[in-house]
Amino acid sequence: MIRDTVSDLPVPTEADLALRTLPRSVSAHDTHMAQVPGMNLIETGGTAPAVPLALPLTVGAWNLERCLFPEAAAQKMADCDVLLLSEMDHGMARTGQRNTTRDVAFGLGMAYAYAVEFLELGLGSPIEHEFCEDDHNARGYHGNGLMAKTALRDPFALRLWGERQWFSDDEQPRLGERIAVGATVETDEGPLLAVSTHLESACGPEHRERQVRGLIAALDAAFPRLPVLIGGDLNTGNHNEGDWRAEGLFDAAREAGFTVHGGPEDQPTTRPSLITRWPERQMKLDWFLARDMDLDQTEIRSSLDATGRPLSDHDAIVTRITGLTAPRGSGA
């Protein structure tokens, strides 16, 4: 589990970016990743006060697909007290070299934590090249963010189980693996653990189930007896004919005492966007997993801005935590 924090992730060196010369093996990948500082740190910042949030509180989870428009995204989620964000660029040419998580947090007056999922060598897909004014990435980081309208306590990041398949990509190898980033959030009913995650897309359901089981086990070991809210793009149905109901991760979560919340069952959470222009199908990918707390109904919030411009290929999911309950086995 990654625990060390900095106020600004370091710029990768030429040695950090020398991926193409490495053997395509898990051991070579992990040895190199351990030596790249930006892959083993959490960036934290923001200006939120250390004042507990009053329940009920509003939580949003949103895959922002690089985050082309940080200010518009912040405006869309201005009612949220906590945000769980994925696919956030930091120093990528396609998003103007911006630190998109920091910029969203600044626009909302929130504290934030950010961890790198992938260090990318290239500028992205051919469509993404259309958004680039530079021919290089200032950092090349792509990852997950967590933010709240209160100070975040004990931030952490955890790399999920995987097979390093993106490292073996012939066209554009990436360093990294899917990740979760989380922290303790103080409320007027006590602390809760908020976790932003992003599960693997290029795999079948068994892979994602193993990621969820590993994530829950790690959280239980590090943060016993805290109410937990996990949210994000769980990629349910990818490489499975879009059938989210066949995902074993839901049973794994329920076995561990979590409830599952994704809004109306027949409402997908993906749509065409400026980057994903012709999706083959609409899918239901985004979920909350909650334990030891009461949630109101979950809303699927359109990613279209006031002009009809899509801010992402995912709609956001938004819920309200109405109360915390006694942990399992507490006798309360």
* Per-residue pLDDT reduced to its tens digit, 144-154: 999 999 999 99
Pairing of β 228-233 and β 190-198? parallel
In three-state secondary structure terms, 31 is helix
Q: What is the pLDDT of residues 8-50, one digit of tens each?
A: 999 999 999 998 889 999 999 999 999 999 999 999 999 899 9
CA distance 185 to 154: 9
Q: What is the pLDDT of residues 72-101, one digit of tens each?
A: 999 999 999 999 999 999 999 999 999 999
How does 42-57 read in b/e, with b if 16+ C-beta sit within 10 Å? bbbbbebeeebbebbb
Question: Considering the chain, what is the average pLDDT of its residues?
Answer: 94
How does 65-79 read in b/e, with b if 16+ C-beta sit within 10 Å? bbbbbbebbbebbee
Please report which confidence band the pLDDT of residue 171 belongs to, taking 50, 70 and 90 as the band edges.
Answer: confident
pLDDT at 331: 46
Nearest to 194 by CA among 322, 59, 326, 287: 59
Q: What is the pLDDT of residues 132-169, one digit of tens each?
A: 999 999 999 999 999 999 999 999 999 999 999 899 88
How does 300-318 read in b/e, with b if 16+ C-beta sit within 10 Å? bbebeeeeeebbbbbbbbb
Determine how many CB atoms are found less than 10 A away from the CB of residue 267.
Answer: 12
Question: Residue 2 contacts by C-beta under 8 Å, 6 or more apart in sequence?
Answer: 40, 41, 42, 115, 156, 157, 158, 159
Q: What is the pLDDT of residues 180-198, one digit of tens each?
A: 999 999 999 999 999 999 9
Q: What is the pLDDT of residues 42-54, one digit of tens each?
A: 999 998 999 999 9
Counting residues of the chain whose pLDDT is more than 70, the rounded percentage is 98
User: Which domains occur in the chain, in start order?
Assistant: 24-323 (3.60.10.10)
pLDDT at 330: 55
Determine how many CB atoms are found less than 10 A away from the CB of residue 251.
Answer: 12
In three-state secondary structure terms, 128 is helix
